[in-house]
Amino acid sequence: MVQIRGPVGAPFDERCHVPSVVKINVLTVPADQRETLEKRFAHRAHAVESSDGFEWFELLRPVEGTDSYLVYTRWRDEESFQAWMEGPMQAAHQGSGEEGAEKPKPAASGSTLWSFEVVQQAEPKNA
């Protein structure tokens, strides 16, 4: 959550403490794999939520004009994201399916990671 620090009208970095980083994994998913991808994410629900520094997750389904899903995560800082990538995320992706079963093939045919720093944000005004 944003912590307001200082008077309204002060430069953003003086009145708000928002060191968050956003990582968006752009997954190219063929139409016949959409349901598979969504089921896999549903089965992994809460896998990231206990990670130190984790702030938010959303899986965004394309509506029209693209076959790219967006996996949006927000982190306290880059170090928190890297710790998750090198630990829990890596372990989850290296694991096989059920015991003795072959590791399932990826539902996505491609992946690109976008990285951003949060420099401004807004919350709804209280009525």
Q: What is the DSSP letter of 99?
A: T
Per-position pLDDT tens, the chain of length 127: 444 343 444 454 444 555 799 999 999 999 999 999 999 999 876 778 889 999 999 999 999 999 999 999 999 999 999 999 898 777 666 654 555 566 788 899 999 999 999 988 888 998 6
- pLDDT in the model for residue 17: 58
- pLDDT in the model for residue 91: 67
19: left (phi over 0), alpha (psi -120 to 50) or beta: alpha
